[in-house]
Structure 1
Amino acid sequence: MRIPKYGRILASLVCLTALAVCFFVPGIGRDAAAEQKTLTMGTSPDYPPYENVDAAGSGDIVGLDVDIANYIADKLGYKLVIAPSDFDGLIAALQTKRVDFVMSGMSVTDERKKSVDFSDTYYQARNTIVSLNDSPYENLEELKGKRVGVQLGSTQETVANGLPDVQVTKLNKIPDLIQALKANRIDAIILEDAVAAGYVGANADLKFAMVPASGDDEGYAIAFPKGSPLVPEFNTVLNQMKQDGTLQTMIDKWFGTQTSTDQGGKGGLNFAKLRDYAGYLFRGVYVTLLFTLVSAAFGFVWGAILSLFKISGIAPLRWFSTVYTSVFRGTPLLLQLLLFYYAIPQLFHYNIPALLAAGLAFGLNSAAYLSETIRGGILAVDKGQREASLALGIPYRTMMVSIIMPQAIKNILPALVNECVALVKESSLVSVIGVADLLRRANVVQANTFLAFEPLIVVAAIYYALVLVLTSLARLLERRMRRSD
């Protein structure tokens, strides 16, 4: 019987998991003094011209807010670090001290003032109503009884909630709202003027109408944690920028380039605009595969340990593994991801990197499911082999690693492949905390091209190809293991 050679699989997976820490924790080995003069800015880079990823070029986050932040940081003697996130998670990032300040086209409101401090305003935007050419809306009164879309956590949400007899749809991203409008799931969108101009310029079937300015709108400002000493320093530089014309120069730079002449036909698809973004999208394959591989390896190793706990004769180990499995299988994976990402900095004062938080959440969750699968595979191995091994004086650990576990792995290989396939697809959840996987990159391209649908089709095809390759490799491995019997 040649099965013992597969015992080396466990050692290889352990090494792979350990090496992944170097990738997931980029701060290891850095000189702490080199990071003393950095400022971390939180932003949602899907809101051009304020902030978006230059996906067709450098891949950096660019925009009006980024230029202002870089200028202020340079004047104050800091190096700027940008931490991307969904818009509705920015306030939480401030409160948990993940970021030092937030610039993301964020309006000053009384409700937000209860949670954060604001700088002086740097831009006064106006709201618009975006609708289809066939069913235009010119003012807020015409929206009575209609379905209105807004970005979750935005000031436009407050405006929509104040309208009488309106059904409000709240989504995380602007491209999702545009797609919902085109699919007739909503009748109109309340959107900020510069962003609306970009989408209308790129979509011939859309139009927008300006909403009269409200006296309650205090404009866009920089948000800080409560009591931050940075507020007066930033205000000093902002006032200097207003006085010497630097701020107006930046505004003129970004607000004169948002209307596209490359419009798609009504109801059609326009994949031609994605040519310049192909490289950016395919670089997401590396992040997705690496994250999946490391999470699967960590989940397998920890799941194998848990499975041994479950068949152990030591009661506390059995109780621990049972409770662990119950907790991780009984709560949503997305919730676990958000808890790792936001709770660890607040509870343990460690600013955990996004990719490390995702790797832990997915690995620990996968281990809960794999522990039951591996336990079933171990129990499926003939009891006579265990009895023979013990009779020959083979130590229990050697027996499990070199004899029982390899046979169990071969028995459960299809289930392990299914778990890997599930991890590939579920990895898209990491986009909500700013990890630049395939889905996050599709969102970036949506924001840059003002196309709501086409980037998603391309990424769906990539995911499908990855799953096909993974299942094909698994079938080859399974046939080879059968021939080794």
Structure 2
Amino acid sequence: MKALKPWLACTLSMLMLFFMIVPLASASEGSGKKIIVGLSADFAPYEFRKNIDGEDQIVGSDVEIAKRIAADMGAQLEIQDIPFDSLLPALDSGRIDMIISGMTPTAERRKNVDFSDSYYISRQVIMTRAEDKDKYATLDSLKGVSIGVQKGSIQEGIAKDIEGAKLTSVDRISDIVLQLQSGRVDAAVMEGPVAEGQVANSSDLAITAATIPDSDTEMAIAVEKGNTELLSQINGTLAELKKTDEVSKFVQDATALNSDEQKASSNIFNIFWDYRHYYAKGVQYTLLLSALGVLFGFVIGLIVALMRLSNVGILRWIAMTYIEILRGTPMLVQLLIIHYGIAQTFHIEFSVLQSGIITLSINSSAYLAEIFRAGIQGVDRGQSEAARSLGMSYGATLRHIIIPQAVKSVLPAIGNEFIVIIKESSIVSFIGVADLMFQAQAVRSITYSALNPLLIAAAIYFVMTFVLSKLLGILERRWSVSDRR
């Protein structure tokens, strides 16, 4: 029992932190009128990340439009960087107020959201490797070719119309570039200014002479269906911007700002050193998520394991159902349900950090419950019978005899679950948690280096898990000293 007291004290402290301090911090940030804009910050020159005066900032023409809208509304602007194909779910669940991310107002999208007046018209181009520029100089040459596109984008629809094209849909522009550079796709359909930015920063890429007929597409701002008041305010601002053609100036300025970015060294060590503060911040979030996920998972899993071993049928059924559902569904689905589904259905909005912690906790608890069940059942039944014969209650027997031995015996499995959670925590970057994987993606967008930032992240993950496994080995050996006496 003595060994468990530090666990319980730490757990109670973390629970207080999670349910009291974190919500209060969120509330303090929400004072005053605020407009929340969702975008995917890997779409230069419309929205992209840039290190300005040592500070990571999201800039671009769409950001300037968002600033003008917020100013006209007298509201504080908050920008959320979200993968492009998650923007519409975020808007539908009420987590953001509008989407300004070079989005095209298609008929399919209009079924779910309302769009503002168009504010810019862009052209679509074909980008490929420099040596293949002449090979894919016509649209007919792309028939049957593998093409990379951003998932959920208008470019995906354009590529589908190319006869025999084999599509590879990915989340980010940097992923398309990596697919192209590694030879997994032969070409990519991309916005003209976006492709120009990639070519300017990567000598091995080029824009072909192939023209896509009727490919000029409008850009508009998406808002929640039926939000006519906000839509009217947005259209009013856009009308003023159109009078002076300021949107075109925003695009030109953002293009110049993007081109002004110093070309990143291809040396992986230089990238790590120049952007070490990105990775340091990501490590902090990753360790926080993993520690709280396993800590809360430990408590929940132990409770579920005891329910699973209970003599009460309904408790056993609840525990088994809980375990089977969580082990039988992908963590990504669980994350999306908690972050978007609960917000949309019950109007309970967790922050991205809270959603990540909850998802990791309940997912981890399902596996830990089975680990604890095996540990408890592995304790010799004779010890329980001896304790009961001495007059100890069932609860006291569990607390003082069974659970301490069970935890000691399954410590390697608990440590392994911690290591798994550290690696799987990268999934929370999908909803915008600034963990290690999210920061690696940000560095990819800034440096135009598709692979090296990921290799750095992989090395950091390895160091964290390796060190943790060694520390757990030391703890296991210390706890097993008494067993050898």
| TM-score, normalising length: structure 2 | 0.93
Is 2:22 aligned against 1:45? no
Aligned to 1:311: 309
Cα distance in 2 for residues equivalent to 1:450 and 1:159: 25
Instruction: Summarize the alignment of residues 296-307 of structure 1 with structure 2, pairs less than 5 Å apart.
Output: 296-307=294-305
Distance 1:28 1:236, change over 3 A: closer
The corresponding residue for 1:62 is 59
User: Structure 1 197/335 Cα, relative in aligned 2: closer, same or farther at 3 Å?
Assistant: same
Identify the residue that residue 331 of structure 2 maps to in structure 1: 333
The answer (yes or no) to whether the contact 2:61–2:247 under 8 Å persists in 1 is no
Range 375-384 or range 137-146, more displaced: 137-146
The answer to whether structure 1 residue 132 and structure 2 residue 129 are counterparts is yes
Check conservation: 2:356, 2:428, Cα contact below 8 A. yes
Equivalent residue number for residue 405 of structure 1: 403
* CA apart distance, 1:28: 5.4
Counterpart position of 1:442: 440
Code of the aligned partner of 2:226: G
Alignment-mate amino acid for residue 356 of structure 2: A
Question: Please, which of 115, 118, 126 is the counterpart of residue 115 of structure 2?
Answer: 118
Unaligned runs of 5+ in 1: none
The match for 2:456 among 455, 458, 461 is 458
In 2, the alpha carbon distance for the partners of 1:393 and 1:8 equals: 27
CA distance in 2 between counterparts of 1:393 and 1:55 reads 68
Residue in 2 that maps onto 1:226: 225
Q: Secondary structure at the match of 1:258?
A: helix
Answer whether contact 1:7 1:406 (CA < 8 A) is retained: no
Instruction: Tell me the alpha carbon deviations over residues 257-299 of structure 1, each in whole angstroms, 9 at most, x when there is no partner.
Output: 333786689xx76653554312112210000000000000111
Matched residue, 2:164: 165
Contact 1:307–1:375, Cα closer than 8 Å, also in 2: yes
Alpha carbons 1:121, 1:222 under 8 Å: kept: yes
Q: Does the CA-based 8 Å contact 2:151-2:171 persist in structure 1?
A: yes
Alignment counterpart, residue 424 of structure 1, candidates 403, 422, 425: 422
Structure 2 residue identity aligned to 1:286: Q
Segment drifting more, 336-345 vs 290-299: 336-345
Match of 1:87 in 2: 84
SS state at 2:188 partner: strand
**Whole-angstrom CA distance in 1 between matches of 2:255 and 2:2:** 66
CA offset at residue 473 of structure 1? 0.8
- For 1:21 and 1:428, locate their aligned partners in 2 and report how far apart those are by CA, in whole Å: 23
Q: 1:53 to 1:31 in 2, by over 3 A?
A: closer
Q: Check the 8 A contact 1:271/1:454 in 2, yes or no.
A: no
> How high is the sequence identity, in percent, across the aligned residues?
37
**1:274 and 1:193 mapped to 2: Cα distance?**
30
> Any conservation in 2 of the 1:54–1:61 contact (CA below 8 Å)?
yes
Q: 49-58 vs 433-442, which deviates more?
A: 49-58
Using the TM superposition, give the Cα deviation of residue 9 of structure 1 relative to its aligned residue in structure 2, in angstroms: 2.1
CA contact (8 A) 1:7 1:401 kept: no
**Contact 1:47–1:195 (8 Å) recurs in 2:** yes
Distance 1:127 1:24, change over 3 A: farther
- Structure with greater contact order relative to length (CA < 8 Å, sep ≥ 6): 1
8 Å contact kept, 1:118–1:223: yes
Residues 353-362 or 316-325, more deviating: 353-362
User: Could you tell me how far 1:30 is from its partner in structure 2?
Assistant: 3.6
Given that residues 88 and 153 in structure 1 are in contact (C-alpha distance below 8 angstroms), is that contact kept between their aligned partners in structure 2? yes
Asked if structure 2 preserves the Cα contact closer than 8 Å seen for 1:14 and 1:298, the reply is no
> Residue 371 of structure 2 aligns with which residue?
373
Q: Which moved more, 1:331-340 or 1:137-146?
A: 137-146
Q: What's 2:254 paired with?
A: 254
CA–CA distance in structure 1, aligned partners of residues 347 and 25 of structure 2: 15
Q: Which runs of 5+ in 2 are unaligned?
A: none
Query: What letter matches 1:131 in structure 2?
Result: T
Tell me whether 1:385 sits opposite 2:366 in the alignment.
no
Q: Match for 1:128: what amino acid?
A: V
Could you list the per-position Cα deviations for residues 20-45 of structure 1 after superposition, in whole angstroms to 9, with x for gaps in the alignment? 3346546555497x24x111111112
Looking at structure 1, the residues matched to 200 and 463 of structure 2 have their Cα atoms a distance apart, in angstroms, of 33
Q: Counterpart of 2:469?
A: 471
Mapped partners of 2:365, 2:345: distance in 1: 24
> Which aligned segments of 4 or more residues in structure 1 are displaced greater than 4 angstroms?
26-29, 210-216, 260-265, 268-271
CA distances 1:365-418 after superposition (whole Å, capped 9, x unpaired): 111111111011111122232223223333333332232211111100000011
The question of whether the paired residues in 1 share the 8 Å contact of 2:46 and 2:251 is answered with: no
Residues 450-459 or 116-125, more deviating: 116-125
The question of whether the paired residues in 1 share the 8 Å contact of 2:290 and 2:418 is answered with yes
Residues 87-111 of structure 1: per-residue CA shift (max 9 Å, x gap):
0011111222221100111122222
Q: Report the TM-score when normalising by structure 1.
A: 0.93
User: Is the CA contact (8 Å cut-off) linking 2:123 and 2:215 kept in structure 1?
Assistant: no
Distance of aligned partners of 1:313 and 1:376 in 2 relative to their CA distance in 1, 3 Å threshold: same
Contact 1:140 1:211 in 2 (8 A): yes
State the SS of the aligned residue for 1:105: coil
Q: Give the Å deviation of 1:454.
A: 0.7
Q: Higher mean Cα deviation, 377-386 or 446-455? A: 377-386
How big is each residue's C-alpha offset from its partner over 1:281-334, in whole Å with a ceiling of 9 and x where there is no partner? Answer: 221000000000000011110000011111111111111101111111111111
> What is aligned with 2:141?
142
When residues 364 and 261 of structure 1 are mapped into structure 2, their CA distance, relative to the original with a 3 A threshold, is closer
Number of paired residues? 479
SS of 2:35's equivalent in the other structure is: strand
